[in-house]
A and B are shown apart, each in its own frame.
Chain A
């Protein structure tokens, strides 16, 4: 029988407790059918308030111009592009979980992929805001699109990394959205078929595209998911590579570095997993999903964090070494004076970054700490802060002192509207995430059912009994006869 797959008993179950297929549906869909808790309302309204603050900050920026942000002569990119790169990076973990882990046949992705993909989409939505509003005259934003126009044959510059960004981010958003939604369709049908109220039946009926669960549809769905995963895997690597090209193809000391693409990608996965941890720990608690997002899931993600954190650490050291070994005095100045020197104006941010990204994740070599939930939550915040500072260090410490000492800027600190805009994207992100958690299944129901019989706790226990019996039979038949 093709269904009976062997899975090692040493592996932890992916679904805890006595679950049946129906129980899985019940557990995951219940929060959608129930009224949201008071905590949900509190969180939701705080997010909306932050979002409104962001909208006001953008209103100021659009009305009075980009001078509303404290950017200056040399620091042309400040918090805005730092936040852009940070949010894009966060988005990467979702694609990594859904695509790369699908290709690598990692069963544990099923518990976290849906929420992580949603996180990707919302994070990319936040990221996209920054370059767009940074344009200043935002009503001219359509100039970045190549189309035959009446302004003379005025085309975009396809040789420019900033235009590559336009294509990379918009493609990334589109493909992630398609991947996420195509996975949602069967689960929407599950909600539709269970619906007790007319409105719910109608809305989920529309959202489920008339999905019936036909075998042929599933066959095509599997093929679609696999190819989309195959496409997303190089895509996710390309997106952050292209983002790093914004810096790496320039000649600014501290940016002009060939190590940037892999180092940015590793950093993106690192920070993205930290954000997944932050969200999952909250999600499992609020929606009672401990059986689906188990300690094993948390531990697996912590392993990814320690791996990518170490890659990032090696990248920092390599970058530093090459700056010294490359014998370019400007490059070495950027590192030795602007960054490593703790007494320099931004020296603190470099060492904060070093501590958060290189030193702190090393604690996850300890199994005890990997499986400690409050500690993991704390660490995920630390990593998120550290990765924000990484982008800040790259952007600000490379630009605040350029080749001309006369244009060296004084200490740059963001304006309230720059901070407000950043907080506003948090508002956008969490507003979207709260709505997602209320109206969409936060765990892929169909995919959990798919792994249930091989990796569910109760089924594993049964399998152990069968295996024990088999082993005894084998011993009896083979070994006894041999003697």
Chain B
């Protein structure tokens, strides 16, 4: 796998209130935050890390229109063109009667499409194994993982994390690959007065 072995400094925080300034300072100091693993959705953390907004909901919208179009075009072709049936003297193209199914298919396409997209984007699926930096990350710890580059001194990063309030700091080397988690390439540089602080 391209990339070889990568080195990470892992700091576990016990409280999200300590984590936020730590994330801010890490970015200020120019450290490359690989990811922050939390046991629940910590609101504002994505902004604090400089991640861009997700466009998953936009994808959901497009799946929804696909559902609407499929239903309307399918039903009108079937009932008005392929095999027009006289049902109680109703017109072949009886749009009002098709609204329920059109609605259901809109919702169905949108929901299924979004969930699949979500799994694809996060690269999660049954039997997928990702590297776990700290098993406490799904319990009660907020785990900040800083990637060591050529210029980073890991001793320095460790003491930085300790000073920032991390309760446990260690260094881990992992063979790089998508299974260590997705690194967001669009992480923005730190700017003062960002939303999320």
Q: Which residues from chain A sit less than 8 Å from chain B, CB to CB?
A: 1-3, 20-22, 25, 146, 153-155, 157-159, 161, 163-164, 167-168, 171, 174-175, 178-179, 182, 185-186, 189-190, 192-194, 205-207, 209-224, 226-228, 231-232, 234-235, 238, 242, 245, 446-447, 449-450
Q: What 10 A-B pairs have minimum CB-CB distances, sorted nearest first?
A: A210-B128, A21-B140, A2-B44, A209-B124, A193-B135, A159-B97, A446-B40, A22-B140, A213-B37, A164-B100
Contact of A171 with B130 in the complex, beta carbons under 8 Å: no
Contact of B138 with A223 in the complex, beta carbons under 8 Å: no
> What's the nearest-Cβ distance from chain B to residue A257, in Å?
18
> Within the complex, which residue of A207, A210, A221, A234 is in contact with B129, where a contact is CB–CB below 8 Å?
A210
Mask of B55-87 contacts with A, CB within 8 angstroms, 1/0: 011001000000000000011001100110101
> Within the complex, which residue of B35, B54, B112 is in contact with A223, where a contact is CB–CB below 8 Å?
B54
Residue from B60, B83, B100 having most chain A Cβ neighbours under 10 A:
B100
**Majority secondary structure of chain A interface residues (helix, strand, loop or mixed):** helix
Report A-chain residues with C-beta under 8 Å of the C-beta of B78: 146, 155, 158
Contact of B97 with A189 in the complex, beta carbons under 8 Å: no
Contact of A447 with B40 in the complex, beta carbons under 8 Å: yes
> What's the nearest-Cβ distance from chain B to residue A479, in Å?
30
Report A-chain residues with C-beta under 8 Å of the C-beta of B111: 174-175, 178-179, 228, 231
Mask of B1-16 contacts with A, CB within 8 angstroms, 1/0: 0000000000000001
Docked Cα-Cα span, A87 to B88, in Å, equals 31
> What's the nearest-Cβ distance from chain A to residue B37, in Å?
4
Contact of B138 with A213 in the complex, beta carbons under 8 Å: yes
- How many residue pairs link A and B with beta carbons under 8 A? The number is 210
Closest to B124 in A: A209
With A209-B125, A222-B41 in contact, do A174 and B108 touch (Cβ < 8 Å)? Answer: yes
Contact of A450 with B40 in the complex, beta carbons under 8 Å: yes
Contact of B49 with A215 in the complex, beta carbons under 8 Å: yes
Report A-chain residues with C-beta under 8 Å of the C-beta of B158: none
Contact of A231 with B107 in the complex, beta carbons under 8 Å: yes
Contact of B40 with A186 in the complex, beta carbons under 8 Å: yes
Contact of A227 with B56 in the complex, beta carbons under 8 Å: yes
Q: Which residues from chain B sit less than 8 Å from chain A, CB to CB?
A: 16-17, 20, 35-47, 49, 51, 53-54, 56-57, 60, 74-75, 78-79, 82-83, 85, 87-88, 90, 94, 97-98, 100-101, 103-105, 107-108, 110-112, 114-115, 118-119, 121-132, 135-140, 143, 179, 181-182, 184, 196-197
Contact of B119 with A209 in the complex, beta carbons under 8 Å: yes
Report B-chain residues with C-beta under 8 Å of the C-beta of A226: 57
> What's the nearest-Cβ distance from chain B to residue A332, in Å?
26
Contact of B115 with A224 in the complex, beta carbons under 8 Å: yes
Docked Cα-Cα span, A1 to B40, in Å, equals 18
Closest to A219 in B: B46
Report A-chain residues with C-beta under 8 Å of the C-beta of B44: 2-3
> Within the complex, which residue of B105, B118, B182 is in contact with A221, where a contact is CB–CB below 8 Å?
B118
Report A-chain residues with C-beta under 8 Å of the C-beta of B36: 214-215
Closest to A22 in B: B140
Closest to A218 in B: B41
Contact of A175 with B129 in the complex, beta carbons under 8 Å: no
With A3-B20, A193-B138, A224-B56 in contact, do A216 and B46 touch (Cβ < 8 Å)? Answer: yes
Contact of B126 with A212 in the complex, beta carbons under 8 Å: no
Docked Cα-Cα span, A119 to B92, in Å, equals 40
Contact of B137 with A213 in the complex, beta carbons under 8 Å: yes
> Within the complex, which residue of A157, A221, A224, A446 is in contact with B39, where a contact is CB–CB below 8 Å?
A446
Docked Cα-Cα span, A192 to B128, in Å, equals 13
With A3-B20, A216-B51 in contact, do A228 and B38 touch (Cβ < 8 Å)? Answer: no
Docked Cα-Cα span, A118 to B106, in Å, equals 24
With A158-B78, A167-B100, A224-B115 in contact, do A209 and B107 touch (Cβ < 8 Å)? Answer: no
Report A-chain residues with C-beta under 8 Å of the C-beta of B90: 159
Closest to A178 in B: B115
Report A-chain residues with C-beta under 8 Å of the C-beta of B136: 193
> Within the complex, which residue of A167, A221, A227 is in contact with B104, where a contact is CB–CB below 8 Å?
A167
Report A-chain residues with C-beta under 8 Å of the C-beta of B79: 155, 158-159
Contact of B45 with A215 in the complex, beta carbons under 8 Å: yes
Report B-chain residues with C-beta under 8 Å of the C-beta of A450: 40-41
Residue from A20, A219, A232 having most chain B Cβ neighbours under 10 A:
A219
> What's the nearest-Cβ distance from chain B to residue A268, in Å?
16
Contact of A210 with B125 in the complex, beta carbons under 8 Å: yes
Report A-chain residues with C-beta under 8 Å of the C-beta of B46: 215-216, 218-219
Report A-chain residues with C-beta under 8 Å of the C-beta of B115: 178, 182, 224, 228
With A193-B135, A211-B124 in contact, do A157 and B85 touch (Cβ < 8 Å)? Answer: yes
> Within the complex, which residue of B100, B118, B139 is in contact with A220, where a contact is CB–CB below 8 Å?
B118
Contact of A22 with B42 in the complex, beta carbons under 8 Å: no
Report A-chain residues with C-beta under 8 Å of the C-beta of B130: 210-212
Report A-chain residues with C-beta under 8 Å of the C-beta of B181: 212, 214
Docked Cα-Cα span, A64 to B13, in Å, equals 66
Contact of B108 with A219 in the complex, beta carbons under 8 Å: no
Docked Cα-Cα span, A235 to B67, in Å, equals 14
With A159-B79, A182-B118, A218-B42 in contact, do A242 and B100 touch (Cβ < 8 Å)? Answer: yes
With A193-B138, A215-B35, A216-B51 in contact, do A210 and B124 touch (Cβ < 8 Å)? Answer: yes
Docked Cα-Cα span, A168 to B104, in Å, equals 6
Report A-chain residues with C-beta under 8 Å of the C-beta of B41: 218-219, 221-222, 446, 450
Contact of A212 with B132 in the complex, beta carbons under 8 Å: yes
With A210-B128, A242-B100 in contact, do A175 and B42 touch (Cβ < 8 Å)? Answer: no
Closest to A26 in B: B139
Closest to B106 in A: A231
Docked Cα-Cα span, A205 to B124, in Å, equals 11
Docked Cα-Cα span, A193 to B139, in Å, equals 8
Docked Cα-Cα span, A258 to B20, in Å, equals 55
Docked Cα-Cα span, A1 to B181, in Å, equals 28
